[in-house]
Amino acid sequence: MASRKKVLLKVIILGDSGVGKTSLMNQYVNKKFSNQYKATIGADFLTKEVMVDDRLVTMQIWDTAGQERFQSLGVAFYRGADCCVLVYDVTVPNSFKTLDSWRDEFLIQASPRDPENFPFVAIGNKIDCENRAVSHKRAQGWCHSKNDIPYFECSAKENIHVEQAFQTVAKQALLQESDADLYQSDFPDRINLGGNSDANKKSGDCAC
């Protein structure tokens, strides 16, 4: 196992304020949910070690602020991302409409090598709420029009489909990382930049 290269996957979560980005990340990593809403200031991240097709990878999941006044702070965090998660609230139509602008802004700021094929995953959150306003069909249609982005309907509160969604995120990110390794073999190993001990310590605290 020691001879196998460990991979660090950088994942960015984007979406309007209040759609549940932080809740989804906390539910996935820490298996916790809080009803108390606290706006994210700037950006924060959690790490989690996961198995993807018999390969151990460390996911570094960045949770970014949804308010416009903080969006400029997120620019530096976009670069080097391996996958981007677009989140909206199924009870708030406008949060779905803004997915286009979040996606476009990410591609502009992150400047991925192959923007046409950069992996995105879309999540419709809060399906536990009764006042749904965005249909499954409408969301799937949008994802289909954007190069067939994988789509999941989740509830961070009830922990519905959260694990499956992030497993797909990890797989999509690993594909991107593998491609990057092929084309950027002269670059230093990304896992060495942050040091292994801190990442292992953080992810070790979480019961998978």
Across the 208 residues of the chain, what is the mean pLDDT of every consecutive 10-residue run?
A: 69 93 94 73 79 90 68 69 97 97 92 93 97 97 97 97 96 76 41 40 34
CATH number at residue 21: 3.40.50.300
What's residue 10's pLDDT? 94
> What ranges make up the beta strands (E) of the chain?
7-14, 43-52, 55-64, 83-89, 120-125, 151-153
Residue 204 lies in a domain: no
What's residue 15's pLDDT? 94
- Indicate the SS3 state at residue 65: coil
- Which residue range is the domain that position 56 belongs to? 7-195
The answer to pTM > 0.85 is: no
Q: Angle at CA 159, nearest 5°, toward 176 and 205? A: 70
What's residue 75's pLDDT? 65
What's residue 203's pLDDT? 36
Residue 119 lies in a domain: yes
Residue 81 lies in a domain: yes
Residue 200 lies in a domain: no
- Number of domains the chain is built from: 1
End-to-end CA distance of the chain: 20
Distance of CA 120 to the CA centre of its chain: 8
CA distance 13 to 178: 21
Backbone dihedral angles phi then psi of residue 26, each to the nearest 5 degrees:
-65, -35
Distance of CA 132 to the CA centre of its chain: 23
Residue 202 lies in a domain: no
What's residue 44's pLDDT? 76
Q: Closest by alpha carbon to 15, among 100, 72, 86, 79?
A: 86
Do residues 45 and 60 lie in contact, with contact meaning Cβ atoms separated by under 8 Å? yes
What's residue 39's pLDDT? 60
Residue type, 104: D
